[in-house]
Amino acid sequence: MAKTQFWQKKLLKILALAMAIAWFSLLIHGQTKPLPKGLSLEGPRRAAPEIEFLADLTWQQDGQPVRHQVIFKRICRIIAEAERFVLLDLFLFNSVHGQGEKFPALTEELTRRLIEKKQRSPQVDLVLITDAINLSYGAEEPEHFRKLRAGGVRIIYTDTGRLRDSNFIYSTWWRFFCPWFGTKGAGWLPSPFAPDGPAMTMRGYLSLFNFKANHRKVVTSENEALITSANPHDASAWHSNIAFVAKGAVVQDIVEAEAAVASLSGEILPKWEIPARPESGETQLRLLTEGKIKARLLKALARCGRGGSVRMAMFYLSDREVIAGLLEAAARGAEVRLLLDPNKDAFGRRKNGIPNRPVAQELVEKSRGRISVRWYETHGEQFHSKLSMISLPEQTVLIGGSANLTRRNLDDLNLEACLEVTTLADSQVAREARGYFERLWQNHDRVYSLDFKEFAEDSPFKYALYRFQEWSGMSTF
């Protein structure tokens, strides 16, 4: 009997050790596994024959919201003018919002325009790449997607399971126990996105908590490409956002980058012919995706010192290397100004100010006031822009698109896409981006932004919480 108990205990110890080794192996693999081919791209520098800067803004005047929205209209124009193909890679593309709230029907309008485009021009290929968030992580395909399929639009759902784990502690557990159960089925749990949103399955919730996303926002045709921070999502309609519209060889780079996303999801895009355009002009463009966005941003910050400046208009700022880069630029004498969302609103829910408020407090204190921070004045909507502008003695570097400056967005975890624009300080695109920022910072003609003290928050608890969430990935930023 004693001998049997001895062997039972020994067997349990062996099994426990084997489980621990398997667990640790999955944890390491989930963070370090090779990226699918074509991701984390630093594209070649392309001379830009034409580049546009666009901005959506919402502000208050006499107690009423005023909205200036141009990005969605530009997306619709790209679709209307396409002759060979339209390729869209969109993170949020749904009409889910809270009860009683009224928003423009962006999802319905974009759906209608795509279907009508196919009806008028059946030779034009229409392809939509999107994220599983629009399926509520496994629920029934939403009606507008079924209409798109029936209307001839090809839909590709991104296989984010092939990406690295950002919420690595949770994802290791999930990989151990959950994937083989799938996520499909009749939903019975309330939506986390809106009180009357599509019901979700428990397996859908379990998948959601991996916090993986194809977060790109790209629309391209054979003529031009738009990379933006904006989603064609009803509840996001009034957010403030930015976009770049580019022509030339960079369009081919963008199509090839999107082909890589299709490939990791088991799909192949057609080999579309893109008309050759002469590469000319002093403005240079470069497509950046995933981790290369941070690499190029840090490189630009490292060049910035006395006589230079950094301006950022950003929804989320939390990445530790970017924070260090900003502090170092300020220490070298660069003027550093940050216009941030106060992180207080999220689709009808109140937020706790993390990460921007503790990060802003850290930057102001550690720079001894050399870094200046203002907050965009939001009223339910979000200051959703993602734009960095580094002014050097002889040139200006702009980086903008889908990526927030967070670990999840910059460390080869989410799928992201930005354009880097290197241009002369007095070029049109530099003047437009600079004018956009200064208008909001200086409150030209109306109130857009608030003093740092309005949301200054010296909370050791919130700072510790932010640092844990940034490190662990147990957050939505």
For the cut 70, the answer to whether the pLDDT of residue 99 exceeds it is: no
For the cut 90, the answer to whether the pLDDT of residue 19 exceeds it is: no
CATH, domain 46-264, list 3.30.870.10, 3.50.50.60, 2.40.160.20, 3.90.180.10: 3.30.870.10
The predicted pLDDT at position 185 comes to 66
The tens digit of pLDDT for each residue in 238-269 reads 999 999 999 999 999 999 999 999 999 999 99
Residue 245 or residue 179, greater confidence:
245
> Whose CA is closest to 191, among 95, 316, 89, 111?
95
CB burial class (10 A; 0-12, 13-18, 19+) of residue 51?
A: buried
| Band of pLDDT at residue 1, cut at 50, 70 and 90 | low
The predicted pLDDT at position 477 comes to 93
> How far, rounded to the nearest angstrom, does the alpha carbon of residue 228 sit from its chain's CA centroid?
9
The predicted pLDDT at position 309 comes to 98
pTM to 2 decimals?
Answer: 0.94
Q: How far, in Å, CA of 68 to CA of 59, rounded?
A: 9
5-9, 171-175, 354-358, 375-379 — which is least confidently predicted? 5-9
The predicted pLDDT at position 394 comes to 84
> Whose CA is closest to 56, among 119, 102, 4, 104?
104
Phi and psi for 67 in degrees, rounded to 5? -125, 135
Q: How far, in Å, CA of 265 to CA of 76, rounded?
A: 26
Neighbours of 382 (CB within 10 A): 22
| Band of pLDDT at residue 197, cut at 50, 70 and 90 | confident
27-31, 64-68, 312-316 — which is least confidently predicted? 27-31
| Band of pLDDT at residue 92, cut at 50, 70 and 90 | very high
CATH, domain 284-472, list 3.40.640.10, 3.40.50.1380, 3.30.870.10, 3.40.50.2300: 3.30.870.10
> Whose CA is closest to 56, among 69, 65, 67?
69
102-106, 230-234, 354-358 — which is least confidently predicted? 102-106
Q: What average pLDDT score do residues 222-243 get?
A: 96
Mean pLDDT of the chain: 93
Asked if 404 contacts 314 with a C-beta cutoff of 8 angstroms, the reply is yes
Q: How far, in Å, CA of 378 to CA of 376, rounded?
A: 6
Instruction: Please write down the HEC assignment for all residues of the chain.
Output: CHHHHHHHHHHHHHHHHHHHHHHHHHHHHHHHCCCCCCCCCECCCEECCCEEEEEEEEEEECCEEEEECCHHHHHHHHHHHCCCEEEEEECCCCCCCCCCCCCCCHHHHHHHHHHHHHHHCCCCEEEEEECHHHHCCCCCCCHHHHHHHHCCCEEEECCHHHCCCCCHHHHHHHHHHCHHHCCCCCCCECCCCCCCCCCECHHHHHHHCCCCCECCEEEEECCCEEEECCCCCHHHCCCEEEEEEECCCHHHHHHHHHHHHHHHCCCCCCCCCCCCCCCCCCCEEEEEECHHHHHHHHHHHHCCCCCCEEEEEECCECCHHHHHHHHHHHHCCCEEEEEECCCCEECCEECCCCCHHHHHHHHHHHCCCCEEEEEECCCCCCECCEEEEEECCCCEEEEEECCCECHHHHCCCCECEEEEEEECCCCHHHHHHHHHHHHHHHCCCCCCEECHHHCCCCCHHHHHHHHHHHHHCCCCC
Q: What average pLDDT score do residues 307-312 get?
A: 97
The predicted pLDDT at position 234 comes to 94
Q: How far, in Å, CA of 100 to CA of 451, rounded?
A: 32
| Band of pLDDT at residue 13, cut at 50, 70 and 90 | confident
The tens digit of pLDDT for each residue in 45-56 reads 999 888 999 999
The predicted pLDDT at position 25 comes to 86
Q: How far, in Å, CA of 64 to CA of 59, rounded?
A: 8
The predicted pLDDT at position 139 comes to 67
For the cut 90, the answer to whether the pLDDT of residue 182 exceeds it is: no
The predicted pLDDT at position 100 comes to 64
The tens digit of pLDDT for each residue in 419-448 reads 999 999 999 999 999 999 999 999 988 999
Residue type, 294: K
For the cut 80, the answer to whether the pLDDT of residue 101 exceeds it is: no
Residue 394 or residue 358, greater confidence:
358
Question: Residue 155 is encoded by which pair of tokens?
Answer: 């839909």
Residues with Cβ within 8 Å of residue 94, at least 6 apart in sequence: 107, 134, 142, 144, 233, 234
390-406 residues labelled b (16+ CB within 10 A) or e (exposed): bbbeebbbbbbbbbbbb
| Band of pLDDT at residue 183, cut at 50, 70 and 90 | low
Residues with Cβ within 8 Å of residue 69, at least 6 apart in sequence: 56, 237, 238
Q: What average pLDDT score do residues 32-36 get?
A: 94
The predicted pLDDT at position 45 comes to 95
Q: What average pLDDT score do residues 25-30 get?
A: 86
Q: How far, in Å, CA of 338 to CA of 355, rounded?
A: 14
The predicted pLDDT at position 195 comes to 73
The predicted pLDDT at position 223 comes to 95
- CATH topology match: 46-264 vs 284-472: yes
The predicted pLDDT at position 190 comes to 77
Question: Residue 420 is encoded by which pair of tokens?
Answer: 């880097």
Q: What is the CA radius of gyration of the chain?
A: 23
> Whose CA is closest to 74, among 219, 182, 176, 203?
219
Q: Where are the domains of the chain?
A: 46-264, 284-472
How long, in residues, is the chain?
Answer: 477
The tens digit of pLDDT for each residue in 129-166 reads 999 999 888 767 899 999 999 999 999 999 999 999 99
DSSP strand pairing (386-391 vs 225-228): unpaired
The predicted pLDDT at position 181 comes to 66
For the cut 90, the answer to whether the pLDDT of residue 460 exceeds it is: yes
